[in-house]
Chains A and B, each alone.
Chain A
């Protein structure tokens, strides 16, 4: 079954829109929870990502709080990450409500940390964020929010992150990010047959047609969108129905179940 994922980008208390990795602050957690009844929204999602995209000094404890608040609103897996530099930070996120960790720059700056996290929590817990930018006819892999080129060979980088514990691969096209012009599925055609880990694609979703198009690619396990404004209300549920109607195998759940079960055991206390 293919996956539909919503990513929220967090920078020191504010949630962001990103376009080609340039950020625009939209609102704080109260704004987010007011715009998005996350319990409701999550019924259309396979997964939620909460990513710390803070430029400059981070407040990790505050980020853990945000992840916990968001995770407690929804009964779907939550991936948290961005800027994880230590076992202690990873542990705090997992204890705070995250199920998986997104690592990106750490695969360059501290691969032994990635090894240690995979050994401690299992590789199913480690999602490798792989940011890619087109350079001439080629693709370069960048880290540190696009600031540093680490490889001109996407396949070699995929092998590197898999050798250091990555259980899933999230490919993000910087050129497509926030443009709404569609996902860069061509990225995945550059890969050898080998990566056996699930491949997720992010960057460029403008409407559900883009999601559909990408999910038809045999290598795409899931599509993530970080556009805060495109999918308000029941838009993810509607998108999921459209995807299923187009013949793509996505999970479907009964609607309203969670609400009906609220406090159902309370009388047994």
Chain B
């Protein structure tokens, strides 16, 4: 196993590497594509603004190497927060196109103060719809994870596990589609529950080849 954390420059990479160190997962941090080929698993974290992150991916020429990791080599990738959003086509937050590995557009969350739903959604919230398999294996029913975001994915097509959160409207909290996984929340900031989810992701075999994302 070798986990590569892609650093887009604005994300809090250190908290993610602290979690990987805790789990005992061999890992490195990369700012360009050179380390991706040897990665069994890629983590794509991100905080910050959509257009700035997309621009960074383009400038660092990461688009094709990310595709190659997932599609050519058939290895798993987990996008976290903005990193999950970037896997999709578009977001209300920016004008640039996303990586487009999955179909969908992120929408701005609408506050509902009467129900205590402020925006940004910045707190621990319950996640539902998980089975005791895949990313959520070994977790309690409806576990709590830490979210901090203003944009969310209202629906997700295709086969695979989909977990949901509710914050003035329902949105996708986490998913797996083929070799791609995503978490709108921060597993590295979500107590033992988040560490367990990360471990579940990393226990997926990184060496399977020729599996379309």
Interface residue? A121 (CB, 8 A): yes
For B186, the chain A residues whose CB sits under 8 A away are: 77, 99
Q: How many residues of B contact A (CB 8 A)?
A: 49
The answer to whether A125 touches B47, judged by C-beta atoms less than 8 angstroms apart, is: yes
The answer to whether A196 touches B113, judged by C-beta atoms less than 8 angstroms apart, is: yes
Q: Which chain A residues numbered 205 to 234 have a C-beta less than 8 Å away from chain B?
A: 218, 221-222
* Minimum C-beta distance from A189 to chain B (A): 14
Interface residue? A46 (CB, 8 A): yes
Interface residue? A268 (CB, 8 A): yes
Of all chain B residues, which has the CB nearest A267? B24
B contact face: mostly helix, strand, loop, or mixed: mixed
Segment of A25-33, A90-98, A142-150 in the binding face:
A90-98
Q: Which chain A residues numbered 46 to 76 have a C-beta less than 8 Å away from chain B?
A: 46, 68, 71-72, 75-76
Proximity string of chain A (230-269) to chain B, C-beta cutoff 8 Å, 1 when within and 0 when not: 0000000000000000000001111011111111111111
Interface residue? A100 (CB, 8 A): yes
Interface residue? B63 (CB, 8 A): no
Interface residue? B23 (CB, 8 A): yes
How far is A101 from B107 in the complex, measured between Cα atoms in Å? 25
The answer to whether B123 touches A262, judged by C-beta atoms less than 8 angstroms apart, is: no
Known A121-B47, A122-B150, A257-B192; contact A218-B14, beta-carbon cutoff 8 A: no
How far is A87 from B149 in the complex, measured between Cα atoms in Å? 21
For B123, the chain A residues whose CB sits under 8 A away are: 1-3, 46, 198, 221-222, 251
Interface residue? B60 (CB, 8 A): no
B120 in complex: contacting residue of A68, A168, A258, A260, CB < 8 Å: A168
The answer to whether A97 touches B148, judged by C-beta atoms less than 8 angstroms apart, is: no
The answer to whether A120 touches B113, judged by C-beta atoms less than 8 angstroms apart, is: no
A261 in complex: contacting residue of B52, B113, B196, CB < 8 Å: B196
Interface residue? B209 (CB, 8 A): no
The answer to whether B14 touches A221, judged by C-beta atoms less than 8 angstroms apart, is: no
The answer to whether B194 touches A68, judged by C-beta atoms less than 8 angstroms apart, is: no
The answer to whether A253 touches B24, judged by C-beta atoms less than 8 angstroms apart, is: no
For B144, the chain A residues whose CB sits under 8 A away are: 1, 251-253
11 A-B pairs within 8 Å (CB atoms) are namely A95-B13, A97-B14, A99-B189, A120-B48, A121-B49, A167-B150, A196-B113, A196-B119, A251-B125, A263-B22, A265-B199
Residues on A lying within 8 angstroms of B by beta carbon are 1-3, 42-43, 46, 68, 71-72, 75-78, 94-100, 119-125, 167-168, 193, 196-199, 218, 221-222, 251-254, 256-269
Closest 7 CB pairs of A and B: A257-B192, A266-B24, A251-B144, A263-B24, A251-B124, A124-B120, A258-B192
